[in-house]
Copies of this chain bind each other. A is one copy, B any other.
Amino acid sequence: MYESTMIAPLTGLLSLIIAGFIYLYIKKQPRGTLLMQEIEGMIHEGAMAFLKREYSALTLFVICAVPILWFFYREWYTPGAFISGFLCAITAVYIGVKSATRGNSRTAEAADKSGQAKALSISYFSGSVMGLSVAGLGLLGLGAWCWKLAGDPGIIRYLNGFTMGAGSVALFVRIGGGIFAKAADLGAGLSARIEAGISKNDHRNPGAIADNVGDNAGNIAGMGADLFESYVASIIATMAIAATITIPEFTEKFPVLKDRDEGAVIILFMGLPALIAVAGQISSFIGIFFITAFRGKRPAAALRSTIFVADIVFIALAALVTGLMEMPKGMLWAVTSGVLCAIALGLLAEYSTSGPPVSRISEQARYGHAAVITSGLILGLRSTCLPVLVICAATFTGYLSAGIYGLGLTAVGMLATAGVALTVDAYASIADNAGGISDMSGLGISTRNITGSLDRIGNTTAAMGKGFASGSAVIAGIALFAAYARVAGLQVINIMNPAVLSGVFLGAMIPVFAAASTMASVGKTALKVVEETRRQYREIPGLLEGREGVKPDPRACVSMATGASIRELIVPVLTALLCPIAAGVLFGTEVLGGMILGTAVMGIFLSLFMSNAGGAWGNAKKYIEAGNFGGKGSDNSRAAAVGDMVGDPFKDTSGPAMNTFIKATAIVALIIAPFLKPGGLLGL
């Protein structure tokens, strides 16, 4: 039965093949006017330049990390898994960004020539390349290890290296991309308005392209890397938990399996997460292609339906898989609770960043700037309560259904359909870019209406995506926490021990510090962008006057922002790595366990708070500019614009960065667990 897990790498391969065909189909679409092609080319080139620099920095990191891993582990499985996780993650992100930056001008052209349905379909399928590659490469990479595991299940203990490889990419790309995106946005806007008195998307603005590149760096690359990490973390953590289940535990929790060969069933337990993930990926295929069935329907409903279709198919397939494997029903309930959790978190995030809460913020604009800020902060704080309740309910259901192993299955269930979730999310950025291109290349008003409406729908689905990403990060984090406790051989992590208590408090400070430093980085990097554009206005004769044939040099802006955003990575990355190492080495395994919990609690709060407050501010500004409460140009819209500016780094830099911190602490803990003394060097 375990041999059936061989289907995982095959499904992964199949996903890549389908993604390849979709990519070829996208590339075949018409690219529009020469100007559009030029803009597309610059965005594409900028995004690739960003990735290249990020990947160089990452490679340096890998080169340093591999000998250290080898030195401690004294075998090649862990460093090998680390390298393979790293390679899968960077490939997935690369493919996704390539497709997204090819899809944007083609979406605009389709909106111009063929109408909304075609434009929706092109942007959606461009996004699906990212979705399919992330889940596909996850399955392929992990699947290859599953094949190896069939020969020696003990290897599982080295497989955390794979998660760490994926996690490194997430840490660099999510944070770096987030800083780049908002610094370029802010810098391009500031310099255009203040220095030159032109609009941000003016062709004379050297920062305009950097802004568009930033959307791809932050939302496409960052989100892809983040979900790749959560995806593989949930599967590997569950396999790791399965490997540590002892015979008495096993028969106590699953009496129905008592008659079967216990050793063999544990091997099946290790295979189940991979099979569930395969079921999820097949459901994602179906969901994605269902977009064609909904053609002509309201686009927002169509997008959401693809996710619901995938979820329903997935639950059916999961029932089939657990049924065929003669597993207890609890397994299915755990998986289902993950699916329901994903849906609930998406809907809650959507509610918080649209509808009544947003119009309440917009209404506050008449009391001035401070009222907009205050009401957004209130909304952000409030919006964290229900999602945390949902997360607790889902985890707890998983635990009641199938014990500590069920915690892992809940995470796998939540992330199994990441393919379609990520597709919808990537769609949002592509639609956003398509809108930018149609603005910059001066397409007609009806075209811009179409791209505008696709962009607006994208805003909503992007909020859902953020809710999903935050929630899955913490659920994967909880699974990693459980795996860590197992690997470290802990029976209890007792918060009545003041050392552990301090661990929880200190762990909570990691995301706080990271949130502050990433927000500060956006400001610093934006100033670099402003300096560079200012230099170009000064040194390129005729640029500001708009003299014929004189063009800005957007590459310099992109390069400046990339370099600065990578430098700004150093502090948060070191924080994420060194805090758990220091805590574990000095104070021991139990304190480190407390630290993971503290990071998770504060991380999920900050992630939801910042993403939702930021999203709501952004949408309140759009709501007013759409003609409510005074409309564009009114005092109210100026007040709302301040909220939007505060909210930008909240929702696109610091909030999402929290996701990687939640997981990073736990992953580092898992990697170092075998070498820690229980009481640490201080012998607590």
Q: Tell me the A residues contacting B by CB distance below 8 Å.
A: 190, 367-371, 373-375, 377-379, 381-382, 384-385, 388-389, 391-392, 395-396, 398-399, 404, 407, 478, 482, 485, 490-496, 498-499, 501-502, 504-506, 508-509, 512-513, 515-517, 519-520, 523, 593-594, 597-598, 601-602, 604-605, 609, 642, 645-646, 649
The chain B residue with its CB closest to the CB of A484 is B496
A498, B392: Cα distance in complex, Å: 9
- Option from B190, B385, B505 in Cβ contact (under 8 Å) with A509: B385
The chain B residue with its CB closest to the CB of A594 is B495
Chain B residues, CB < 8 A from A399: 498-499
A594, B369: Cα distance in complex, Å: 39
The chain B residue with its CB closest to the CB of A596 is B495
Chain B residues, CB < 8 A from A512: 381-382, 384-385, 605, 609
Q: Is the CB of B523 within 8 A of A371?
A: yes
Q: Is the CB of A485 within 8 A of B492?
A: no
- Option from B478, B642, B645 in Cβ contact (under 8 Å) with A501: B478
CB<8 Å pairs between A and B, sample of 25:
A190-B367, A368-B642, A369-B369, A370-B645, A373-B642, A373-B646, A375-B523, A377-B646, A388-B505, A388-B506, A392-B502, A392-B506, A396-B498, A396-B502, A399-B498, A478-B501, A482-B496, A491-B496, A492-B494, A492-B496, A504-B601, A505-B604, A512-B609, A602-B605, A642-B642
A604, B598: Cα distance in complex, Å: 13
Chain B residues, CB < 8 A from A375: 523
Known interface pairs A370-B642, A388-B505, A404-B496; 15 further A-B residue pairs with C-beta atoms within 8 A, sorted by A's residue number: A374-B646, A381-B513, A381-B515, A382-B512, A385-B509, A388-B508, A388-B509, A395-B498, A478-B501, A492-B492, A492-B496, A493-B496, A495-B594, A508-B602, A601-B602
Chain B residues, CB < 8 A from A498: 395-396, 398-399, 404, 407, 478
Give the shortest distance, in Å, between A613 (CB) and chain B (any CB): 10
Most B Cβ at <10 Å: residue of A404, A478, A482, A501: A501
Main SS class of interface, A: helix
Chain B residues, CB < 8 A from A523: 371, 374-375
Give the shortest distance, in Å, between A387 (CB) and chain B (any CB): 10
A124, B102: Cα distance in complex, Å: 71
A404, B604: Cα distance in complex, Å: 31
Q: Is the CB of A396 within 8 A of B509?
A: no
A127, B82: Cα distance in complex, Å: 63
Q: Is the CB of B642 within 8 A of A509?
A: no
Chain B residues, CB < 8 A from A492: 492, 494, 496
Q: Is the CB of B505 within 8 A of A392?
A: yes
A602, B381: Cα distance in complex, Å: 12
Chain B residues, CB < 8 A from A377: 519, 646
Chain B residues, CB < 8 A from A496: 404, 482, 485, 490-493, 593
- Option from B515, B597, B605 in Cβ contact (under 8 Å) with A495: B597
Q: Is the CB of A501 within 8 A of B395?
A: yes
Chain B residues, CB < 8 A from A593: 495-496
Chain B residues, CB < 8 A from A609: 512
Chain B residues, CB < 8 A from A368: 642, 645
Chain B residues, CB < 8 A from A642: 368-370, 373, 642
A505, B609: Cα distance in complex, Å: 14
Q: Is the CB of B374 within 8 A of A649?
A: yes
Chain B residues, CB < 8 A from A482: 496
A593, B492: Cα distance in complex, Å: 15
Chain B residues, CB < 8 A from A601: 504-505, 508, 598, 601-602
A621, B55: Cα distance in complex, Å: 44
A513, B383: Cα distance in complex, Å: 9
Q: Is the CB of A396 within 8 A of B519?
A: no
Chain B residues, CB < 8 A from A378: 516, 519-520
Q: Is the CB of B389 within 8 A of A506?
A: yes
Give the shortest distance, in Å, between A465 (CB) and chain B (any CB): 22
Give the shortest distance, in Å, between A310 (CB) and chain B (any CB): 27
The chain B residue with its CB closest to the CB of A379 is B516
A369, B388: Cα distance in complex, Å: 32
A495, B501: Cα distance in complex, Å: 11
Give the shortest distance, in Å, between A597 (CB) and chain B (any CB): 5
